[in-house]
A = this chain, B = another copy of it.
Amino acid sequence: MHGQNGIGKGTAGLRLGLQMGLQVHGGRVDLAASLYPSAPKPWIDLSTGINPVPWPVGPIPLVRYQRLPLASEIAEMSAAAAKAYGLPANARMLPVPGSELAIRLLPRMIGPGRVGILAPTYGSHALAWREAGADVHELAGLPDPDQDDCKTLIVVNPNNPDGRVIARAELATFALKWTASGRRLIVDEAFADVRPELSMLALPELPVGTMVLRSLGKFFGLAGLRVGFVVASEPDATAWRQLLGDWPVSGPACEIATAALRDTNWIAATRTRLAADRKRLDGLLGDAGLRLLGGADLFRLFEAPDARDLLDHFACAEILVRGFAGTPRHYRFGLPADEAAWRRLEAACATLM
């Protein structure tokens, strides 16, 4: 098979490159291709939690590129997001050019200090706070709100990569206590589209000091669009508004996001499809001897049965999966896009046995 050329390239240097580059963030197919140059393209990228069947983007009128997005267009997009996600009565829906930028700006908005992060989770949170000079504490679960001295707490719900969830009612009760003394709670709901019953945005009131992050990248499969939302109450909402200005996203992105968020039929059909594909993935990898640790309907975390390097195994079949530097037997798999991709994944799994 083609991949055996790649195995021959799997020297210590390449493995180091994989560890350095491919265990930090998913989606680095260009890096994978450079490390496995003899592998025939196209690569199948299962290294992200991005829906591989995106909302179908149509042609964009040239005027959207030409002129600044109108205030009315930004307002319509925010209203579409509020309708799709929910919006507490005291909160505002604030568009951002990708939730990643919001993650990086948070330490600048709040100021560094002691921050708690429910770990393990998406690495950008800790990175952004450390780069801003904050004292980052990784926590295994919600801290005691009466005792913990963190100024800010970050919770990804449902969590990436392990799918850990905190029920809405539990998190809402915690949020009220946590923020009562002026502390901030950041709830990253990047994958909540597939678990809407968890979202804080269905609360009638958002506890002041709580900020919720949403992303169009994952569920809608539009990671390249760089559109997300911060939901916050005052005074944080005004601070975000001032920081991001009148044109927080591009004109084309505004048009696409508005239409995608309003497409209730697509949203419902996609939730159903993702749930079915997730079950198929669990079955396939379970049959191949991997043990399911958790996940959401957009990604699944598995433990390998032995110390074999599965990042290398699948890369040799031109399939990029996600490894984790700290837990070498853990692998995260996204969903294949189509039957051809499923068949290649099945073939790569067959050689694992």
> B-contacting residues of A (Cβ < 8 Å)?
25, 27-31, 45, 48, 50, 52, 54, 57, 59-60, 62-72, 97-98, 100-101, 104-105, 108, 124, 128, 131, 217, 221-226, 242-253, 256
A138 CB to closest chain B CB, in angstroms?
A: 20
- Within 8 Å by CB of A104, from B69, B224, B245, lies B245
- Within 8 Å by CB of A251, from B72, B225, B243, lies B225
Contacts A50-B67, A57-B62, A223-B251 given; 4 further ones with Cβ under 8 A? A29-B70, A54-B65, A59-B59, A224-B252
Could you give 24 example pairs across A and B, Cβ below 8 Å?
A29-B70, A30-B71, A31-B71, A52-B66, A57-B65, A65-B256, A66-B221, A68-B217, A97-B97, A98-B247, A100-B246, A100-B247, A104-B242, A104-B243, A104-B245, A105-B243, A124-B245, A131-B242, A225-B250, A226-B249, A226-B250, A250-B250, A250-B253, A252-B252
Once A67-B50, A251-B224 are accepted as A-B contacts, the answer to whether A104 and B57 lie under 8 Å apart by CB is no
* Nearest CB in chain B to that of A63: its residue: B224
CA distance A28 to B45 in the complex (A): 42
* Cβ contacts under 8 Å, A59 to chain B: 59
* Cβ contacts under 8 Å, A69 to chain B: 224
* Nearest CB in chain B to that of A96: its residue: B97
A6 CB to closest chain B CB, in angstroms?
A: 20
- Is A67 within 8 A of B108, CB to CB? no
* Cβ contacts under 8 Å, A57 to chain B: 62, 65
* Cβ contacts under 8 Å, A30 to chain B: 70-72
- Is B224 within 8 A of A68, CB to CB? yes
- Is A67 within 8 A of B247, CB to CB? no
* Cβ contacts under 8 Å, A246 to chain B: 25, 100
CA distance A85 to B25 in the complex (A): 32
A60 CB to closest chain B CB, in angstroms?
A: 8
* Cβ contacts under 8 Å, A224 to chain B: 63-69, 250-252
* Nearest CB in chain B to that of A223: its residue: B68
Once A124-B245, A245-B104 are accepted as A-B contacts, the answer to whether A27 and B98 lie under 8 Å apart by CB is no
CA distance A48 to B244 in the complex (A): 20
* Nearest CB in chain B to that of A34: its residue: B72
A332 CB to closest chain B CB, in angstroms?
A: 16
* Cβ contacts under 8 Å, A72 to chain B: 30
A63 CB to closest chain B CB, in angstroms?
A: 8
CA distance A223 to B29 in the complex (A): 31
Between A50, A63, A224, A242, the greatest number of chain B beta carbons within 10 A of the residue's beta carbon is seen for A224
- Is A245 within 8 A of B101, CB to CB? yes
- Is A104 within 8 A of B244, CB to CB? yes
CA distance A57 to B128 in the complex (A): 34
